[in-house]
Each structure stands twice: as C-alpha cells, then as structure tokens.
C-alpha cells in the first residue's frame, strides 16, 4: 500500500514535525488500509519556504523546459494509471472501472490539455504601444477534496506548473494515496527541488497555516462552501488571490417537448455517478406538472436498475466515501421524508448484504417543493429530488432560486430551445441534451459555488498575473 506517512518537501521525502496520524479507511467494508500523517504549522512553514526559494528559478524557465517536465509527468501518470485507480478505489470507494478510467484517467486528461494550451500560449502580447506580459503569480497552496481526488489535483498542479508557479499541495486526508503516487512521479522525473511540495493534514490542523501565510500568493481550493468561506477569510489579511470551486445544487430542466425516455434515465445516471459525490451533479430534476407521473415512473425504474456493490466487483455504484458524509446523506434522506417528500425508491435503510460498508441505495424523491431542505441544500450523495413546474418561466425561476450556481442541464427537442433556456440560467456551466464535459472549456460557478475557473486555458490563466509594460511593444 502507498505510504502516506511522509511528506515531500524541497525534493525529499521527510518525516512530519509531529507524529499525529489518522487511519485511511476503505468505505466498502470500513477496514483500515493505511495511515496518513497529519501535519501542522511547522510542516506548512517548511513546505512554503521550499516553494518560495524555488520560485525565482522555476518562474524563469522557458516554455520548452516546462513542457518537457509536464510531458514526462503525463507519461508516468498513464503508465501508473491502474495503480492510481486501485488506490482511489480503496481510499474513496469508486467502482473499479470508474476509478481506473474516469478517476485515474482525469490526470492525463488535464495534464494533456494543459500541455496543448502551453505549446502556443501568448505570454506576451502587444496592446498598442504597451506590452502585456502574463507571468506566474508566485507560491500557490492547492487544497483538494476526496470525491474526485486525482481530477482536482491535476486541474491545479498542471496549470500551476505550466504557469511557472511553485506550490504546496494538501490533498484530503481522507483520500491521500493518489496524491502520494503523483509526488513519486514528480520526484522520478527530476522536477527541481521545492517546485512541488506535498503535505497531509486536516484543515483544522494545517489549513490556516497554509492559507494565511504571507509568503503564499494564491490559494486554490475545491471543497465545501463552508470551508471556502473560511479560507477566503483567512487569506484576506494578506490580499492573496483565492480561487474557489465549491458546492452545487444543479437543476436539470426537461422541457415538455423533450424525449423523456432518454432525458430522465440520463439525469438519474448523472445524479448517481460517483455515488452522487460530484459538485456538478444534476440533483434537482424539474419536469412539466402534466408529465410528473411519467417522469417519476421513469426515474424510479432507472434508479432501481443501478447495480450497487463492492467496488472491486465493478458495480454501477459503490459506497459513500467516508463516515461523516454517510451520516449526512442518511440524515438528509430522513429529513426529506419528515418534510413530506414522497420516497419513490431507496431510502436510509442499508442495502441487504452490504451492511458492513457505507452504502446508500439510489434514492429518488417526488413531490419535492422549493421550501424543502432536499431542494435547497447539497446532499452530496445518491439522492435525486423531482420537482414540477407549470411553465418554462417557472422552471427557470426554480432553477435560479438557489444560493448555488455551478452547473445546469436542459433537455429539449431542439438545440435552439435548449440554448434559449440555458442562457437564462445563473450558472457557470450548462449541458444541453446530455452533452458531456469538455476539458478545454472553463469549469466553475456563480454565487456560492465559488469564483475563478479551472480546466484548459482558463485554468492556466488563474495562475498568471498581468503586467503592463508601457512603451514596451515594438513600433
């Protein structure tokens, strides 16, 4: 098993300053599969000092030098893809195929896209007689979550390296193993010491020391809105850039002329993917009131067709990733029932034969009204809320009546009709008729879903400052 009891600081594997540790738990059977060191302020200080010392040299490297390192890392990620997938399968319970293909595959996906962007990115452009220079922002703290661990690491580490930044990565202490493998890869390709540093720890123990440090120029965080607010407040006294990718309560609007037989099952599958633990999942399904019964029937059938099981057996859906999240999901299911939502399928009772693990059955509620907790708060589990509307205008208003604004989904007979609704949604992303994500397009949201954008060119530019050199452009 991967060793998460050491930190990677200044090009070396080092022991933490303290001996505090926590168990790494497989949520499929609650077995302990390893330990992770829990760092503190002294570890944060050492990692930031290493990154600060390395910044002048790394930021002065050429595009070609950075491309060479990025390409070497990418090739190693591909070579170790199954190992990364297996680690993710154990540490957060993703089904084997999802862990190996989508979860582990997201590393090369995002490194590859950043490589493509970097090859011809215009770091210097003229604006009249002024030369605009885009340069690395500096030392970055990257804090990543447990739900798509390699994906979120890659979307931060790759563009930061490409921009010429140095960094300290703190992955979730609940799913630290894939981050250790990336650090091993970075060490193996000979990245200069101090450019990339890895520390583990809880937000309470090490987070403030990282995010409030005066030698840190930027914090990029993916996680809960509550934690994002705390990070922004902690970073504010030193006026550092803070990029936040936070929660969501994304709505899927199915227009009256849409193909319900396609739209409803696709929405259920999208909600339940990764056990519902995706910030952009379509968790509110909005359908015409006249078609509510049809939609509920289709959703119930689609949810009950999802195979739930042990990740190694490659089911459609595995367990919830950790004990705390499991408790939250179960509590919110029970609360929805107590508030009057109609349970179509699923519920809080453990599935037969899987009682040892943190398993929740695919759960669908009908008759959900806008005032219910299940319609307003992010569950982050396999729970879908179906809501009825009487007009398209009402559907748009319901979708926008949320503190979140990460993603949205629209199904219609024509792309023009879907696009007309998409333009009215106050979200950073909208999928039309089941269109997939695009790694070249910006990923991020409005309102309480965060600020800044990740992925591709837009993700690279998050790590760049803009300098105006007046009179610097050639005549």
- Mean pLDDT, the chain cut into blocks of 10 residues (475 residues total): 94 97 98 98 98 98 98 98 98 98 98 98 97 98 98 98 98 98 98 98 94 98 96 97 98 98 98 98 98 98 98 98 98 98 98 97 98 98 98 98 98 98 98 98 98 98 98 89
- pLDDT value for 216: 98
pTM as predicted: 0.97
pLDDT at residue number 179: 98
For the residues of 342-375, what is the DSSP string, one character each?
A: EEEE--SSPPTT-TTS-----EEEES--TTSHHH
Rounded distance between C-alpha atoms, residue 283 and residue 288, angstroms: 17
Task: Find out whether 409 and 273 touch, Cβ atoms under 8 Å.
Answer: no
Domains of the chain (ranges, CATH numbers) = 7-246+450-469 (3.40.605.10), 250-438 (3.40.309.10)
- Helix, strand, or coil (residue 318): coil
Has 245 been annotated as catalytic? yes
Q: What is the pLDDT of residue 378?
A: 98
Model pLDDT, residue 330: 98
Catalytic residue among 91, 173, 245, 454: 245
- CA dihedral sign of residues 227, 229, 230, 234: positive
Query: Which pLDDT value is given to residue 1?
Result: 72
Q: Are strands 130-136 and 464-469 parallel, antiparallel or unpaired?
A: antiparallel
Query: pLDDT tens for residues 167-194?
Result: 999 999 999 999 999 999 999 999 999 9
The confidence score (pLDDT) of residue 474 equals 86
Contact 462, 453 (CB under 8 A): yes
């Amino acid at each position: 098993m991967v060793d998460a009891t050491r930190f990677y600081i200044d090009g070396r594997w080092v022991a933490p300053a303290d001996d505090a540790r926590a168990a790494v738990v497989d949520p499929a059977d609650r077995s302990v599969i390893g330990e992770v060191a829990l760092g503190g302020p002294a570890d944060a200080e050492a990692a930031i000092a290493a990154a600060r010392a390395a910044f002048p040299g790394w930021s002065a490297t050429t595009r070609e030098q950075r491309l060479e390192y990025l390409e070497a890392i990418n090739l190693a990620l591909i070579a170790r893809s199954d190992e990364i997938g297996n680690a993710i399968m154990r540490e957060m319970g993703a089904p084997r195929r999802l862990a190996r293909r989508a979860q582990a595959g997201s590393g090369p996906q995002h490194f590859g896209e950043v490589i493509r962007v970097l090859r011809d990115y215009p770091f210097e452009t003229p604006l009249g007689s002024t030369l605009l220079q885009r340069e690395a922002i500096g030392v970055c703290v990257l804090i990543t979550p447990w739900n798509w661990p390699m994906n979120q690491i890659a979307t931060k580490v790759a563009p930061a390296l490409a921009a010429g930044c140095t960094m300290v990565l703190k992955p979730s202490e609940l799913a630290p193993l894939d981050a250790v493998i990336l650090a091993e890869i970075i060490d193996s390709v000979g990245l200069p010491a101090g450019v990339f540093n890895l520390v583990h720890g809880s937000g309470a123990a090490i987070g403030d020391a990282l995010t409030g440090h005066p030698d840190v120029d930027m914090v990029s965080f993916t996680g809960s809105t509550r934690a994002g607010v705390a990070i922004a407040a902690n970073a504010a006294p030193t006026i550092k850039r803070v990029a936040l990718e936070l929660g969501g309560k994304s709505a899927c609007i199915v227009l009256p002329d849409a193909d319900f037989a396609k739209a409803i099952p696709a929405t259920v599958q999208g909600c339940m993917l990764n056990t519902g633990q995706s910030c952009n999942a379509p968790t509110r399904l909005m359908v015409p009131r006249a078609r509510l019964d049809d939609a509920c029937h289709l959703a119930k059938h689609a949810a009950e067709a999802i195979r739930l099981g042990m990740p190694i057996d490659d089911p459609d859906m595995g367990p919830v990733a950790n004990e705390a999240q499991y408790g939250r999901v179960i509590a919110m299911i029970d609360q929805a029932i107590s508030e009057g939502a109609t349970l179509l399928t699923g519920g809080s009772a453990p599935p037969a034969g899987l009682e040892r693990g943190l398993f929740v059955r695919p759960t669908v509620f009908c008759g959900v009204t806008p005032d219910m907790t299940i319609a307003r708060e992010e569950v982050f589990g396999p729970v879908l809320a179906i809501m009825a509307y009487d007009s398209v205008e009402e559907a748009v208003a319901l979708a926008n009546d949320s503190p979140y604004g990460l993603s949205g989904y629209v199904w219609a007979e024509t792309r023009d009709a879907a696009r007309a609704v998409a333009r009215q949604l106050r979200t950073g992303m909208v999928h039309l008729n089941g269109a997939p994500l695009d790694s070249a397009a910006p990923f991020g949201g409005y309102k309480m879903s965060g600020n800044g954008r990740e992925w591709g060119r837009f993700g690279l530019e998050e790590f760049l400052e803009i300098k105006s050199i007046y009179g610097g452009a050639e005549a």
